[in-house]
Amino acid sequence: MTPPKVNAPNIHLFAFHLRHETSIRAEARIVPGAEKLWEKLGQILTQYGYETPLDLVGYYAPKGEQAYDPKEEGPGNIINLHKNGLIDFKGTLKLEGYPVNFTGIACPRRVFDSYALALNIRRPEKENERPTDAVPISIYGQFNTDGNLLLPDFIESSLGQTLLLTADLTDEQKQFSPEGLKNLACQCVEELIDDPKKRPSYSNKGRLFGSPIFEFGDIETLESQSDYRHILVLFFRDDTLKRKFESAYWDLIELFYYRNKILTSFDFTRSGYQETYRKYEEIEGIISDVNQQISNLVPNKRLGYKYLENLKQKLKIMPGLALEYSRLQQVLERNRNTIAIDAKKYDAALDEIQRKQNLDVFYLKPIDLSFVENFTRQEVPYFQERIKADLDYFVHGKGLVDRAIATIRGIVEIERIDRERHLETKLEAIAVGVGTAAVVAASSIYLSLDQPITSLNPPERSPSVALFVMVILISIAVGTIVFALFSWLLSWIRRD
């Protein structure tokens, strides 16, 4: 089946990559691999026939080498990193056996704490002062190349990307119904991405600057920002509406920047949720184990040494788990606040676009921006509710940890006091027993004085060995009896 044709097809790539971590320090910390987006840009330009080494402020990549020094960029929130502002390139590709010329521009920028790349590849509207003919939509696949250079798999930008396909409708296509335009948009995406597994599904439609727009890529299926494919297809019915889009082009870069930052923050909360949940399960397992051991305790029976050591070991582990658990909750809360802040900045960027559009005295009709407004009206509240539900769920875990620590400490403390009292009782009983035995031993020698004095047993003779042994045995026996009686008596007195 021959693919349909469109006029002046364009493909716009908006990609964003974190440059440095936000910090209150004078000098922010550059993240590892911050220059990766420029490496990819160099490879893309080479594929399109741009042979000049990429030379940006702070980044230079002659063949086989590269040098990156972000300090050369200087201060500022939005900085053009190419000396000319834009990188122009052009080339020719084969489309159905015929050569087709294309042109392109790349705009590398630093936007606040990140790098932003706006890349446009297009079939010119005019050549030699004459309008160009309509071309098959398979040109989108040619722009993307066989290596899918414009997809997240290759770009790998840390803050994600958006691909925007635009085209001027032919006279016949201007008569299409909304469903017919949707089918045309789906065909454009199919031509752009040959592999169905990498092709995002249709998710939404609307109007932007008065022109029909279609969205591909469902946010609810977002698992990783690096794998998320967001594609927009925008069709122009007339030049006036097309100029409205072109006049807002650079503001759209900032708008997509905040959109991708919000999605990245939400993506972080999903991975953070999984990590927090694993920690919650670990805590719950320890608490369950402790409760099981407590339920197996025999009343009035002293805890064994191994049991007590097991409780002490858990007591050592629990504070660390509680600290890590609290840290993970703080990460969720921090990303929630970041989403709220970036959502306000997104709305501010929208207000600026609306303000500039209202200044156009040649087009007095109100501009409908509801398609992009719905992101902060519908999607962002959904993100916030999800994170809030996660935090509400995990807040009980901290209480469980605190109660578990208090319970274990209580058991260990009670056992310690009981053991000390038991030891004290033993020592007192031993002291009484030893004292009694000593008294008995000292008194027993006088047993020999009751014997009559004979020539075989003179009074000055020392006691016999048999008598000595008898004294020792009597002392031990009496001491043991007294120790046992006194131990029982102290235990009975202190049983309360």
Instruction: Report if residue 134 sits inside a domain.
Output: yes
What was the pLDDT predicted at 312?
A: 73
Quote the distance between the C-alpha of residue 379 and its chain's center. Answer: 19
Identify the three-state secondary structure at position 308.
helix
232 and 271 both lie in a single domain = no
Residues 142 and 11 in one domain: yes
The Cα–Cα gap between 469 and 324 comes to: 67
What separation in angstroms does the CA of 453 have from each of 52, 447, 449, 468?
A: 131, 14, 9, 19
pLDDT at 118: 98
47 with 159: CB under 8 angstroms? no
Supply the pLDDT for residue 487: 59
User: Which pair of structure tokens corresponds to residue 20?
Assistant: 């440095």
Please report the sign of the dihedral spanned by the C-alpha atoms of residue 471, residue 473, residue 476, residue 482. Answer: negative
Q: What is residue 298's predicted lDDT score, i.e. its pLDDT? A: 59
d(CA 224, CA 196): 19
Residues 110 and 216 in one domain: yes
Domain boundary among 426, 448, 470: 448
Whether residue 232 is found in the same domain as residue 297: no
What is the model's pLDDT at position 25?
Answer: 59
Alpha carbons 144 and 153: distance in angstroms, whole number: 12
Sequence-ordered list of residues with C-beta below 8 angstroms from that of 317, at least 6 positions apart, any chain: 286
Whether residue 72 sits in one domain with residue 123: yes
What integer pLDDT is reported at residue 69 of this predicted model? Answer: 93
Question: 147 and 290 share a domain?
Answer: no
- Tens digits of residue pLDDT in 111-157: 999 999 999 999 999 998 899 999 999 999 999 988 899 999 999 99
Q: What is the DSSP letter of 377?
A: I
Claim to verify: residue 185 and residue 276 sit in the same structural domain: no
The CA distance from 29 to 21, in Å, is 6
For residue 466, is it within any domain? no
pLDDT of residue 65: 80
pLDDT at 182: 97
Q: Using DSSP, state whether 248 is helix, strand or coil.
A: coil
pLDDT at position 463 is 55
Say yes or no: 442 and 334 in one domain: yes
pLDDT (tens digit, 0 to 9) for every residue of the chain, 496 residues total? Answer: 688 999 999 999 999 999 998 766 557 799 999 999 999 999 999 999 998 999 999 999 887 688 999 999 988 899 999 999 999 999 999 998 889 999 999 999 999 999 999 999 999 999 988 999 999 999 999 999 888 999 999 999 999 999 999 999 999 999 999 999 999 999 999 999 999 999 999 999 999 988 999 999 988 766 655 568 999 999 999 988 898 899 999 999 999 999 999 999 999 998 888 888 888 888 888 878 877 776 766 565 555 667 677 777 777 777 788 888 888 889 999 999 999 999 999 999 999 999 888 887 666 577 889 999 999 999 999 999 999 999 988 887 767 777 777 777 766 665 665 555 555 555 555 655 556 656 655 655 555 545 554 554 555 545 555 655 665 666 666 556 755 665 565 555 555 4
How many angstroms separate the CA atoms of 298 and 289, rounded?
17
Alpha-carbon dihedral angle through residues 170, 174, 179, 184, given to the nearest 10 degrees:
10
Let me know how long the chain is: 496
Q: What is the rounded distance in angstroms from the CA atom of residue 174 to the CA atom of residue 203?
A: 22
| CA nearest neighbour of 423 among 496, 482, 481, 490 | 490
Q: What 3-state DSSP class applies to 110? A: strand
184 and 296 both lie in a single domain = no
- Which amino acid would we find at residue 26? A
Same domain, 166 and 276: no
Q: Is residue 472 part of a domain?
A: no
pLDDT at 281: 86
Q: How high is the pLDDT of residue 168?
A: 97
Measured distance CA(69)–CA(84) in Å, rounded: 19
Whether residue 328 lies inside any domain: the answer is yes
The reply to whether 77 falls in a domain is: yes
Domain total in the chain: 2
Quote the Cα angle for 127-132-138, to 5°. Answer: 120
- 160 with 298, same domain? no
**Contacts of 420 by beta carbon, 8 Å cutoff, 6+ apart:** none
Q: Which residues contact 246 (CB under 8 A, 6 or more apart)?
A: none
Give the structural domain span for 153.
5-237
> Is there a single domain that holds both residue 281 and residue 207?
no
Contact 343, 183 (CB under 8 A): no
- Residue 284 CA to residue 289 CA, distance in Å, equals 9
Instruction: Give pTM, 2 decimals.
Output: 0.80
pLDDT value at position 363?
Answer: 65
**Residue 362 pLDDT:** 60
The pLDDT score that the predictor gives to residue 490 is 52
485 located within any domain = no
Does residue 474 lie within any of the structural domains?
no
Domain assignment of residue 68, yes or no: yes
Q: What is the pLDDT of residue 433?
A: 54
Which residues sit opposite 127 in a β-bridge? 130
CA distances from 415 to 293, 315, 407, 425 (A): 15, 14, 12, 15
Domain boundary among 410, 429, 448: 448
Structure-token pair, residue 371: 């398609």
Domain's final residue, options 414, 429, 448: 448
